[in-house]
Amino acid sequence: MTRLWIADVHANLAAFEAVLADAGTAEEMVYLGDIVGFGPRPAECVELLMRLGARAVRGNHDASMLAIRKLGERHANPRDWDEWTFNQLSGAHLVFLESLPAAVEVDFCRVPATVTHHPAGAPYLHPDMPDAVYSGFLEKARRPTLICGHSHREIDRMVNGRRYVCIPSIGQPRNGDPRAGYAIECDGAIEFRYVAYDVERTVRETAAIGLDEQFLERWLKFLRTGHDGEWSRDYVPGKPVNKWLDAAIARF
């Protein structure tokens, strides 16, 4: 069986379409969350995911849209990118996001696996983190393999008999490579792949939103380079990564 693994589109339609074209036909598709958030085409990306019929889980940015809905109002002049994103979504889009479970179970490379956006309590995991950090986040996993998105990096690690796989980001790479990432599972093996997409199309669409000028300049550089001073920072023992991850690491 051939299975397409995708994650973290972040409303980047150009990147999403490029991945689907590059991947070709697969017997099954699994999506690991964050179809919206910090990107210019949230409605179109949700609609495309709905048409694809993928097995999908809810990401933290998807959940943010549902949290805004609970407030019961739409702002004519959105105060931040999340509010702008919410204003682009219809009731049907929100119903779809609400229908997505937190986790699903599959057989991955012939081994039982849990699929979720990120391990419980783990903000962002890095490929170079020591086993002790990974073990703290994986010890409660119900199955031998845990497959996630969220970290926006390619990771495949064995830690204390458990396998952790992170599918790289489609819409917001953080590894210094602006190409969109995904993975193909075939005959018991996983292959990570990357494909170039029309970054300048996404740049133009993002610039049209009307974001704060300083923030926009930073974000467009992020799109073009796949690198940001905070979100692409490498893990170095004893040195800070970002405030969310540092707080989690301190637990172990």
**Integer CA distances (angstroms), 116 to 72, 113, 176, 200, in order:** 28, 10, 25, 31
Q: Which of 14, 61, 54, 15 is nearest to 35 (CA)?
A: 61
Domain boundaries, the chain: 2-249
pTM over 0.85: yes
For residue 98, count other CB atoms closer than 10 A to its CB. 13
Residue 170: pLDDT above 90?
Answer: yes
What the block records as the tokens of 126 is 């890095």
CA distance 118 to 124: 8
Question: Looking at residue 133, what is its pLDDT?
Answer: 82
The answer to whether the CB of 84 falls within 8 A of the CB of 209 is yes
DSSP bridge partners of 194: 181
**Integer CA distances (angstroms), 12 to 27, 157, 199, 203, 205, in order:** 24, 28, 9, 10, 9
> pLDDT, tens digit, for every residue of 96-118?
999 999 999 999 999 999 999 98
**Greater confidence, 76 or 35?**
35
> pLDDT, tens digit, for every residue of 184-224?
999 999 999 999 999 999 999 999 998 888 889 999 999 99
2-249, which class in CATH?
alpha beta
C-alpha 104, offset from chain centre: 16
What the block records as the tokens of 29 is 């598709």
- Which H or E run contains 107? strand 103-108
